[in-house]
Structures are given as C-alpha cells and as structure tokens.
Amino acid sequence: MQLSLSTWQEVESYLTHSTGIIIPIGSTEQHGPNGLIGTDAICPRKIAAGMAEVEQILIAPTINYGMSLHHMAFTGTVTLKPATLMRVVYDVVESLYQHGFRHFYFLNGHGGNIAPVTAAFSEIYTEIKGDDIQPPRCRLSNWWRDDSIAALAAELYHGAEGHHATVSEVALSYYAYPEAVKQVAMTPEIAPTGEIYDAVSFRRSFPDGRIGSNPALASIEDGERFYQLAVDSLLADYKTFLNQ
Ligand code: NI
C-alpha cells in the first residue's frame, strides 16, 4: 500500500490496525562505471514494495536524496548536507506522528545516511514525546547489512562484493530496472579499498567510483535472489519492530 497512491480516508483506516510505516531512503550518487546513480534509492524502494505485497504495510514516498558529500567529485551526484538530511527525517516523522503513526521504519540503501539519520532519531526521541502511551519508535534498517544478504554476497562473489558500487546492489537495481543494465569492462577487475575522507581524495583513491568491488559480476538473476532474501528477512525484522 503506497502512501502516495492512497486517499486520506484509506490512511485513516490503515491507522486503526497499524501505527507502522516504512520509509525507503537512499541517495542520488555515482555507483561506478555500470551502477545507476539512483541505486541506493532503487534498492530499498523495490524491497519495500515487495514487503507490501506480502503484508498490508503502508510505504511512504522514497527519500531519494541522501548524505553523499564524499561522492561530489563524480558528475551527477546530488547531496544533502548532514544537517539537511536530519531536518528531512525529523520533519517526515513529525508529520506522520501528528496523524497517529508511531513506528517509523527507515529502509536504508546508503551508508552515508546512517550517521545523520540516527542522529535525527536522537532528536526525535528528545523532542517528540507527547504524553502518549506509545512514544515514537524509529529504526534504520540497512538492507545490505542483513546477515542473509551478506552471506549470499560472500557465497556468490567471494572477495569481489566490495564496499561501494557493490555487486549485490548493482544486481538488485538491475532486477528492478532490467532496461537499465549496462555492460562495462572493469579495470582493474576488483577496485581498490581504503578509507573515505573528502570528495577529492575519494576520487584520487577510487578513480572510477567503486570501492573493492567487481560489479561486472552483477546479474538480474542474482538481483532477484537478493530481493527475495531481503523481503523475507526485513519483513520479519519489521514485525519484531512493531512490538517495540
Ligand atoms: Ni550504494
């Protein structure tokens, strides 16, 4: 059930049996030579839609921009500053809270969002209290860090999964958008790894944008396996969260 495709009466009626909502959140940033700039938003949006096919869960519009300052040396990247992202998260939660939502499940596709989003949660817990029996509960679930996903990536790609423009996320985005699959030769085959600092040094250390990955291995078939695993596993996680 998509919030953007519902009427207000339908949302009111949903709230009589659930106070939970899934908010996919990603980024608009470079993902190497064959990865889509929307990868980090596409993956959680696709997984959330799959979860809503199994259970009646309301899915909020995806937050398509994230904290991507370190990717700004690559064309096409759009970033929110950390403080801006914190405001966005805070305002989305505050709006939905006013209508009666209490469980805010941020389904995340981008590592750079973790610090600002969890910092926003701290603000929310301090400032949005009400005198309610059920105070707000927020969770940030990073789909790629789920144990089942990490295990499948290790099994399929061994050392080539990497840390940015990973094989699994490129595969999942290809499953979501088969028309956008790109065939690109990777040199070197597996990208270098290392620390992330500012945007200029990121590009110097990781010239084509990848970190530690060989996303030429990504396939639509693998993407479907990651998708199915993520839907099953995150659905269980979401249900547990609703009892918090
Ligand atoms: Ni990514």
- Domain range summary for the chain, segments of one domain joined by +: 3-237
Q: How does pLDDT run across 56-66, given as a tens digit for each residue? A: 999 999 999 99
Distance 143 CA to ligand 1 centre (A): 11
Per-residue pLDDT reduced to its tens digit, 33-58: 999 999 999 999 999 999 999 999 99
Average pLDDT, the chain: 97
234 is written with which tokens? Answer: 């995150």
Ligand 1 centroid from CA 226, angstroms: 14
Q: From CA 145, how far away is CA 194, in angstroms rounded?
A: 19
* Strand pairing report for 20-25 and 103-108: parallel
CB atoms within 5 A of ion ligand 1 belong to: 39-40, 169
Cα–Cα distance for residue pair 67/35, rounded to 1 Å: 18
Assigned CATH topology for domain 3-237: Rossmann fold (3.40.50)
